[in-house]
Amino acid sequence: MSLYRNSAWFLKGLTEFTKGGFLSASKNFVEKDLETSMAGRSFMITGANSGIGKATAMAIAKKGGTIHMVCRNKDKAEEARAEIVKESGNKEIYVHILDLTETKKVWEFAESFKKKYKTLNVLINNAGCMMAKREVNDEGLEKSFVSNSLAVYILIKSLIPLLEKSPEPRVITVSSGGMLVQKLRTGNLQSQRGRYDGTMVYAQNKRQQMVMTEQFAKAHPNIHFSVMHPGWVDTPIIANAMPDFHSSMKERLRTPEQGADTVVWLAVSEAAVKNPSGRFFQDRQMVSAHLPLAWTHSSQLEDQKFMSIMEDLASSFQPQ
């Protein structure tokens, strides 16, 4: 990361990504955007038992939406489900247990879901993984890449047919402002070369999500795709993976509900889909996916190469 990118990103973060940034942006929110019933619409949310995912599930459940919580830990998922049901009064909350670092199981889950359920209106890729050191799964793939990128690709790829036959389908991916300091690197997707920096690997994965969203949006115009930055939020992933940042910024971090606001807006509002598909959002506004003069743009050829690599990888683990 260049000194310019680092400095520009941090200064932007202090003014826009904090709790204060949210409160400032929220003055321009149109509250009636969220005054809508979601009864009869179904939502899949990964990582829905804590943080932004749980806050998103709670908000949509209160609007009557059917929620499919995709979580790794059964006990935590069931505890979160009970809390959502109790507070929302909505019993249409379902728990699905899945470890997104296990590629074959992601495929199996998605294919099974398609057979069991007739509709899926909104897919929300929220779950995130930030590793302290490089680890590989049983398939030999780096875990952060699998969880943050390949699993997202597989879920979207597998569930597109179900989404396309459902009314007003949307796919939303929860990203990170960290992607603003990263340019797509197709030559080191598994982080095999150089020193492993979990924070930068995570940021690279988030850039990959942005490219995926842009490319899927072009290929599937009937689905509204979006990526959003929740700001700097007080969540378990920040507390556990970035303890120094968390402790120094704790009073300025957004609440999970504030972080989830734009996810919910993208998932339920009519205003959201008036924006073009395949774009990046922050605080209910479409914003640039690049810092000015940061040279993080990749070529169309590089983006297509990345998607080809993802397709080949994903297909190699697809159940026959």
Active site residues: 202
Angle 19-26/256-268 helices, nearest 10 degrees? 40
DSSP 71: E
Query: Do residues 92 and 67 make contact, with C-beta atoms less than 8 angstroms apart?
Result: yes
Q: Alpha carbon of 95 to those of 63, 85, 117, 198, 286: distances in Å?
A: 18, 12, 14, 29, 32
Q: C-alpha dihedral over 151, 157, 163, 165, to 10 degrees?
A: -160
> How many residues appear in the chain?
320
Distance, CA of 141 to CA of 278 (rounded, Å): 27
Torsion over CA: 229, 230, 232, 233 (sign): negative
Query: Do residues 183 and 298 make contact, with C-beta atoms less than 8 angstroms apart?
Result: yes
Which helix (H) or strand (E) covers residue 90, if one does? Answer: none
Ramachandran category for residue 287: left, alpha or beta (phi over 0 → left; psi -120 to 50 → alpha): beta
